[in-house]
Every structure is written in C-alpha cells, then in structure tokens.
Amino acid sequence: MKRIHVPYHRDRKWVMPTITTISILSLVLLLNLFFGRTKSPGSASSFNQHTLTHFDPDSDSGLPKLPRFAYLITGTKGDASRLKRVLQAVYHPRNYYLLHLDLEASDSERLELAKYVKSEVVFREFGNVMAVGKADLVTYKGPTMIACTLHGIAVLLKWAKNWDWFINLSASDYPLMSQDDLLHIFSFMPKDLNFIEHTSNIGWKEYQRARPIIIDPGLYNSKKSGVFWAKEKRSVPSSFKLFTGSAWVVLTKPFLEFCVWGWDNLPRTLLMYYTNFLSSPEGYFHTVICNHKDFQNTTVNHDLHYIRWDNPPKQHPMLLKLRHFDDMVQSGAPFARKFVKDDAVLSKIDKELLRRSDGHFTPGGWCVGNTFLGRDPCAVYANPTVVKPTLSSKRLEKLMVKLLDSENFRSKQCI
C-alpha cells in the first residue's frame, strides 16, 4: 500500500496514552542527584497523571527534547531479508539508519537491499536510511570487524549531523520494544552517558586475546579467509589499561567524534594495538573510553541487550527461543540476541511487544493510519515528534533506575 503523508501544524497539540509518571519523576530526580543537569523538581509540573503532550523540540512545554539514534545494522551472505526485517522493526523517522552487507554477500543481495531502500516511500520522505554500496570485507574475529564499525560511524558523522547516540545491531539482533519507548526514556537521559559493558578483569583473555599476535588477511586481501597467528607473543601494554566486554554498544556522538577524528593520540594508538588483537570489537571502544579522563566517568556498565550464555560461556551466546520470551521481556533490555532467521520467537515479539505485522514498520505516534482489517497503521503518517510509549517503556525505565542507582553506577565504571 502506498504510504500517505498527512501535513501537520507546529502549534497542534498531540496527546499520548495515559501513563503513570511517578517512576519517571523518580528517574528525573535520580539523574538530577547524580548529574545536576536536569531541571529542578518544580519543573515537573508539565506532567500530570492523565495525559502527556508530545516532545516537540520547537515548543516551550518544558518537556525534554526527543533524542535521535544513529543505527549501523550489519549482515553478511544471506542476510538481506533479515536486515530488512530488523530495519522495519527499529525504524522511526527521527533516527538514521546505515545498512551494510559485507563483501561476502552477493551483489544481487546488496542490490535487493538498495532497491528496497530506494522504493520505500517513507525512506524517501524522511531521507534517513542509506545502504552501503561499496562493501567492506569483514573477517570473523579479525580487526576488520572494528574497522567496518568505525567506517560506518564515520559515514554517519558525515551524513547525519544531529544525532545523539550510536547503536550497532546485526542481522541476528532484534528489538524488544518500540522506538517510541526508547525515545521516550532516553529523552530523560543525560546526553553524555555511554552504555558499554566493560571490565579490566580480562582473565583468560590475556593469554588467548591480548598476548597472541593475529594477522587479518582482510586488511590487504579482497577474498575472505580466517585470521592466522604469529609465532611470537607480546606483553600486556603498560602505557594503558586493557578493558574488554560486549561488542554491542550505545555510544554518544561526542565520544565517537573523538574516536574517529582523533584530536588525541589515544584512539589512534589503540587502533594500531587492536589491529593484531582477536575480536577487537570486544575491547577497542572499552579501552579507549576507560583510559581517557574526559569519558571514563560517562560509562554505564550495560550493553542494553538481553544475551543468554552457557555456563561456562562458549564462543557464541545461546540461540534465543520461545522458552526465553518471558525472561527477555522482564529484563527490560531494549534489544536481544542471538536469533535464528524467521524463528517463531520473532513472530511472538512482533505480535505481543511491537504490535508489528509482517512487512510493516513497528507502529508509533507518527503512524496515524487505520488498523481496520489488518491495515498498516504507518501507511498514513504525520508528526514524527509524537511518541506513544507502551508498557515496555516502564520496564526500560526500571532497568535504567537500577543501572544509575548509587550502588551500581559509579562503582562499576572502568574498574
């Protein structure tokens, strides 16, 4: 169905569904206590227990401005349809999306993805989705993985100027809540918080990751192959402290500008070090952020993903199935991984959490179409600054309050 854009007026009032604001206010007060950057409790008079007007950046309502997210969604051979599904599930007109199928994927797959991006009316209207044409070669476990991420970040910094947080997802990730929920809760977050799971207790990784020297053929070869090890070993560096953690991050634009533009030697020095490091995405950003005084106190020790591991952990996390659904929901995390293509649990997430039909976008406040007889509510769209948070936002809020509690926040930063 052809999507229709409904014009709107700037002075028009939009109303959200009823939500309880007591816990939101507790979050505001908590952030005010730790950061001193939110408005005083008296400024919360804009809220009431019945309605909440939309977050219009041009209004004088006193409500926080909605943020914008910049997504990098990556995949490999056979992932074109999965990338399309993830994109539809996380799409919102306020955000930016860069899609990358690596060099192992066929040209026909990349063309299929590019045609979809070009043909979708909403993407053309808002101009916020781009597919990478000249793909990067990505070697599993090699530094070309972090090189691909940094390349994507550089493209986003050049292409889209006004975003707040970067989020990386793969074709095996999936959201557990709508973008309206995420935008709503993050509108209360200080814009300098970096969500990155990290630790300096690298344990076994010292001898299996840090000391070995690996070579990634993808740095100089156009054909994909595995990494190989040099005979020599190296000592653990003394000029900086190594950190490791999850490869999935939610990072601020200022921090990534620091990493990409490099007005300090630290990001370049560490990039050279991680060129010979196994699974560099699990250490590069973590080590940069925790070794620089301007950013080390901005870290929240969580990757905002629900990931389930075997005990003891294996190389890959467990594949998520229907039996894990309740635990996923209760975690409050906005994303989860790892999923098998078209698994039944994805359909359950679509139906019960996202209210999304197959082939359609996750509906939000920007979608004003009629849902009668299964019609796509986003076939008619209007003001992209309108958000309608669901009950999922309460679970995310609960997670944020826990992460920013005094017992969890400062005590878990870069240790």
The CA distance from 400 to 394, in Å, is 10
Here the tokens at position 310 are 């075997």
309 token code pair: 């591991």
Find the CATH number of the domain harbouring 194. 3.90.550
- Pull the structure tokens for residue 306: 């629900």
Would residue 47 count as lying in a domain?
no
Q: Is residue 55 in some structural domain?
A: no
User: Residue 76 sits in which domain range?
Assistant: 69-200+244-412
CA distance 5 to 132: 27
E strands of 324-385, at which residues? 335-337, 380-381
What confidence tens digit (pLDDT) does each residue in 51-69 have?
233 444 444 456 689 999 9
3-state secondary structure of 119: helix
Number of domains in the chain: 1
pLDDT at 9: 36
Residue 144 lies in a domain: yes
Give residue 169's pLDDT: 98
In a domain, 36, yes or no: no
In a domain, 2, yes or no: no
Note whether residue 376 is domain-resident. yes
* Residues 23 and 397: beta-carbon distance below 8 Å: yes
Does residue 43 form part of some domain? Answer: no
- CA–CA gap between residue 223 and residue 214 (Å, rounded): 17
- pLDDT score of 21: 41
Is residue 39 assigned to a domain?
no
How much is the pLDDT for 5? Answer: 53
Supply the pLDDT for residue 225: 81
CA gap 124, 129 in Å, rounded? 8
pTM: 0.88
pLDDT value of position 49: 25
Q: Which residue ranges in the chain fall short of pLDDT 50?
A: 1, 6-22, 24-26, 28-60
| pLDDT score at 42 | 31
> In Å, how far are 165, 172, 391, 399 from 19, measured between CA atoms?
25, 32, 8, 17
131, 117 in Cβ contact below 8 A? Answer: yes
Question: How many CA atoms are closer than 13 Å to the CA of 317, on its beta-carbon side?
Answer: 19
